[in-house]
Structure formats: structure tokens, C-alpha cells
Amino acid sequence: MPEKKEMKKIVLVGSPNVGKSVLFNVLTKQYVTVSNYPGTTVEVSRGKATINNVEYEVVDTPGMYSLMPITEEERVSRKILLDEKSDLIIHVIDAKNLERMLSLTLQLMEAQLPTILVLNIMDEAEREGVDIDITGLEKELGIPVVATVSTKGKGVDELKNRIGML
């Protein structure tokens, strides 16, 4: 009997209200299960996505600001990041607050977790005059950086292409 291949896993992380759940819904479409993390009342959403003919489990973690947890939500997110084998971490940030949110990106990189940085809510950032050199940021960080407006699906195809390259 052929051995069943384990599904690849993508974990979405980021602070609250940056669009992680919207991106999760865009990637997974209807394959969603929400459950409390064992021993807590913290909800974690898990679903499936097919990207470039590869099936992934996608995990939407509770909001976190740092790998040094303060809240129950951050403890759960950190546990998922460090204890569950993930093939890719997608760090979703609000592009309007890039500087403030990059500290978690750097922590993920220091932990040697394979990371893609998603600059979400780019439409609002542009309206506020925020100009981000995405190519320069990508070179500086040494990880893929993708601009999105997940509520409109903008940049999602580029994100999927980047996921498929890893």
C-alpha cells in the first residue's frame, strides 16, 4: 500500500486586525474548521488550500506581537509555531504600520522559520501616502515580500506563486 504523504503546513501569524483571517478565508475557500486550542478558550482556524496543485493545511493563529508571549493568545500562537512542524510561516502585517510590525518578522527569521512577509491593507497605506520599496525590503530582509489587499484578492495570486516556489 502506498505511503500517505503528510500534507504541507502553512501557518498565518501577525498582530490582531491585520487581515490574517481574511487571507485565511481567501486561501482556504470553504475548507474551514474552527476549534479551541486544547486546554484553552483560544480559537484556532484550520483549513485546506490547494496552491499550484499542492495541498496544504493552513492554520490561522490568534494575534501575536512577539515570540515572547504575554497573553494566552500569544502563548497558543507561539506553541503552534514552535511545536508543530510548519513548512511555511506567512507573517501578515498592516502595511501602514510596517516599522512597528517588523520586529516579529525579525524574530521569525532569527528562529530560522521559513517566512514570507505579507504587506496587507496596501490600499489604505497608499491612500495615507505610505510608499514601500518592496523589492528593496525583500533584498534587505532576504525573504519574500508580497503586497496584498486581501479583502479584494489583490496580490493573492503573487502570494500563491511565491508559496509554490518554496
What pLDDT shows up at residue 42?
81
> pLDDT of 42-66, one tens digit each?
888 899 999 999 999 999 999 999 9
Q: Is the pTM of this model over 0.75?
A: yes
Q: Average pLDDT in the 23-46 region?
A: 75
**Locus of grid cell 500563491:** 160
Mean pLDDT confidence for 110-134: 96
Residue 162, H or E segment: helix 156-165
pLDDT for 43: 84
Rounded Cα distance between 95 and 76, Å, is 25
Each residue's pLDDT tens digit, 129-165: 999 999 999 999 999 999 999 999 999 999 999 998 8
pLDDT tier at 6 (50, 70, 90 boundaries)?
confident
- Residue 97 has what DSSP assignment? G
Supply the pLDDT for residue 3: 54
For the chain, domains (ranges, CATH) are 8-165 (3.40.50.300)
Q: Which pLDDT belongs to residue 75? A: 94
DSSP characters over 28-68: HTT-EEEEEPTTSS-EEEEEEEEETTEEEEEEEPPP-S-SS
Which pLDDT value is given to residue 20? 92
Average pLDDT over residues 2-8: 69
